Structure 1
């Protein structure tokens, strides 16, 4: 079964989904949606993704799903028996709770700040806007403090949810990588050796190397 991934090849959320599909060895085809032309606002696109955002997937039976993290959970659960194990067994309540804790860390303590910096320094400029330098500085100060907490967690376990990699770790890759490409080295800083060790580990995974430049 080939999954159709509707998205913009250079979008972070599209690459997040492509990453999980690669991890689980699920064949997929990227159907390019050109954000610069507003194709994500077309009627046929909004019929599947009412917010007019990328990405969404469609399976061969017609099942459609949007929101990159929801898609990641679905793919990792449906194809649990193949590829890399990136979700705990749902019967293990404690491991599942730790995974959900780690997933919440990414959505609450990393993504809002990393994505905002990326928007201000890359996406906004690309579309003719001007970077709000003070806002970037504020977000980076907050993210820097958040990563101190990451250092505490990662000094005790190899990954955010324990000693096995999960979706919660992998979900960091698109925006974390973008920070590095614009010269922000918070994830590789020497004063947080466990964060740097963790980041080197997850960012060197073959699945990410295969999709990081485009899905």
Structure 2
């Protein structure tokens, strides 16, 4: 048997886990959860993921884990000896601290802005919650661009956010980051304004793991 990934194929968080599974060469079975019919809100699903969100994983021995970033860390550490080393050895305390710093950057300085822009521009209408709040989108975009100015400084000194080796902290940007250009925000690709960010973005979006799951886990 193989690890089971319960989630929606196009879900941002499901694909966040899938890209790491691909990086580590871990076979998995996607157990599709139909968000359109609220399958993630049923009693059976809530018994395994009490927040009613995707994804979660289940291993052969019954071990279950939810929260996409926690799953990614678990997979990266459990399968440290295979695939690409996308998390530093925790025994190398300073390298691991730099990784955690990079992961915190994504969680605090990228995701809150990118995910809410995507919510306003994509998910809000799809869920029948009304029109995008233009003022909110403008404010979020301004804040995101300021954060990316700091990314430009960091990436001017090293290849990736945690150093010169890719980590899951970089990969965590892929799902929401890839949805920005289609809604008119090209800050990640624009080499004229942030060449280091553009170089980094081209690098991580060209990885085989992302190309394999970008259209569905």
TM over 0.5: yes
Partner SS, residue 188 of structure 1: coil
What is residue 50 of structure 1 aligned with on the other side?
50
Question: Cα deviation per residue 1:53-93 (whole Å; 9 max; x = unaligned)?
Answer: 00000011100000000000000000000000101011111
1:205 — aligned with what? Answer: 207
TM-score by length of 2: 0.98
**Aligned residue number for residue 216 of structure 2:** 214
The alignment yields a C-alpha RMSD, in angstroms, of 0.7
SS at match of 1:186: coil
SS of the residue corresponding to residue 153 of structure 1 reads helix
The corresponding residue for 1:136 is 137
**Aligned equivalents of 1:201, 1:135: Cα separation in 2:** 30
Question: What residue number does 1:97 align with?
Answer: 97
Give per-residue Cα distances to partners, 1:5-41, cap 9 Å, x unaligned.
Answer: 1001111000000000000000001111111111100
CA distance in 2, matches of 1:21, 1:182: 28
Q: How many angstroms apart in 2 are the aligned matches of 1:180 and 1:89?
A: 34
Secondary structure of the residue aligned to 2:4 is strand
Alignment pair present for 1:193 and 2:195:
yes
Per-residue CA deviation, residues 183-211 of structure 1 (Å, 9 max, x unaligned), is: 31010112100000000000110000000
TM-score (normalised: structure 1): 0.98
> What aligned pairs does 1:169-188 form with structure 2 within 5 A after superposition?
169-188=170-189
**Residue 165 in structure 1 maps to residue 166 in structure 2:** yes
Structure 1 unaligned blocks of 5 or more: none
Q: Distance in 1 between matches of 2:182 and 2:72?
A: 24
Q: Deviations over 1:141-174 (max 9, x none)?
A: 0000000000000000000000000010000000
